[in-house]
Amino acid sequence: DIPMTQSPSSVSAFVGDRVNITCRASQDISTWLAWFQQKPGKAPKLLIYEASSLESGVPSRFSGSGSGTDFTLTISSLQPEDLATYYCQQGNTFPALTFGGGTRVEIK
């Protein structure tokens, strides 16, 4: 198992703000890192794969960066529809996957 630590656990920001969420792996996972968005009462949705590749159809205000053990999801200009919990997921130990604890994004 590779524990994944996300921070912060929650963040509140204004519409238009830049929001950064970090994810740290307990060991080197190269770029085998994905980010998901889960809106209340819905299934998770893939946003970013391989640390920085944007999934088709995902708005360009979402971006990912990092490699090794430290990764960041950035929302460049927060929108009301971005209210959700965001999870990172490592795939270095395929097929066993592990997820971060989640970051709840709220709109001020």
Positions touching other proteins (CB under 8 A) are: 32, 34, 36, 42-46, 49-50, 53, 55, 87, 89, 91-92, 94-102
- Measured CA to CA, the distance from residue 71 to residue 52 in angstroms comes to 9
Q: Could you tell me whether strands 70-75 and 19-25 are parallel, antiparallel, or unpaired per DSSP bridges?
A: antiparallel
Q: Which residue, 68 or 102, is less far from other proteins as judged by CB? A: 102
Q: Supply the minimum distance, in Å, between the C-beta of residue 64 and other proteins.
A: 12
Q: Supply the minimum distance, in Å, between the C-beta of residue 1 and other proteins.
A: 9
- DSSP, collapsed to helix, strand or coil, labels residue 80 as helix
HEC sequence for 38-75: ECCCCCCEEEEECCCEECCCCCCCEEEEEECCEEEEEE
Q: Which residue, 13 or 44, is less far from other proteins as judged by CB? A: 44
Q: Supply the minimum distance, in Å, between the C-beta of residue 90 and other proteins.
A: 8
